[in-house]
Amino acid sequence: MAFGISHGLVAFGITEGFKALGITEGHKAVGKVSDKQITDGLGAVDKPLLDFWKELVDVVKRAYSKTYSNILEMSSELGRGGSTAVTTILVNCQKLIVANIGDYRVVLCKKGVAKELSVDHEPNTEYEDIKNSGGFVSNFLGDVPQVDGRLTVSRAFGDKSLKKHLSSKPFVTVENINVIYKSLNK
């Protein structure tokens, strides 16, 4: 752990045929708990709902919202800090559900062509939302845009002092997959 940054990786099975992988990157103590919070949120899924794709996407969004709330409630114990996250759920080896906040990326490769399944949540792209919530985006020459001059992502868990100006709503995409997709590392 350098500069107070921690990385979490957790793989878990939600139920038969559903496998998930969550990755978090946090600064301060928040990074140590956010991967467990996401796991707990997804693990509490009402299993019958998993028959419907839309329902599963809603469950992922609720898990992120619950994670955010839990981390904020623990902020007195955790102190300052926050975390970005990405979660992938493979359903029956047919569909891949990807959710992310912050600047984590998920990329699939099909026949040598990369396809992004996540987005970077940058302050410049969500300027209006930040401004409308009373925040600002600093953009000093030679520096990256920052929420209130402090954070380079517009969506994250934790960072209680910036709560009003950040979102924990994940970008979620559902991708039909098959055996022709490969990891970019292979």
Digit-coded pLDDT (tens) for 148-168: 998 899 998 877 788 899 898
Digit-coded pLDDT (tens) for 112-143: 889 999 999 999 999 999 999 999 999 876 77
Confidence of residue 2 (pLDDT cuts 50, 70, 90): very low
Q: What percent of the chain has pLDDT over 90?
A: 20
Better-predicted residue by pLDDT, 156 or 16: 156
Q: Which of 73-77, 88-92, 178-182 has the lowest mean pLDDT?
A: 178-182
Better-predicted residue by pLDDT, 19 or 8: 19
Q: Is the pLDDT of residue 170 over 90?
A: yes
Q: Is the pLDDT of residue 88 over 80?
A: yes
DSSP the chain: --TTEEEEEEEEEEETTEEEEEEEEEETTHHHHHHHHHHHHHHT--GGGGGSHHHHHHHHHHHHHHHHHHHHHTHHHH-S-EEEEEEEEEETTTEEEEEEESS---EEEETTEEEE-S----GGGGHHHHHHTT--EE--TTS--EETTTBS-SB-EE-GGGGGG-B-PPEEEEEE--TTEE-TT-
Q: Is the pLDDT of residue 179 over 60?
A: no
Predicted pLDDT at 129: 95
Q: Which of 6-15, 37-46, 54-63, 156-165 has the lowest mean pLDDT?
A: 6-15
pTM above 0.85, yes or no: no
Predicted pLDDT at 73: 80
Q: Structural domains in the chain?
A: 5-182 (3.60.40.10)
Average pLDDT score, the chain: 74
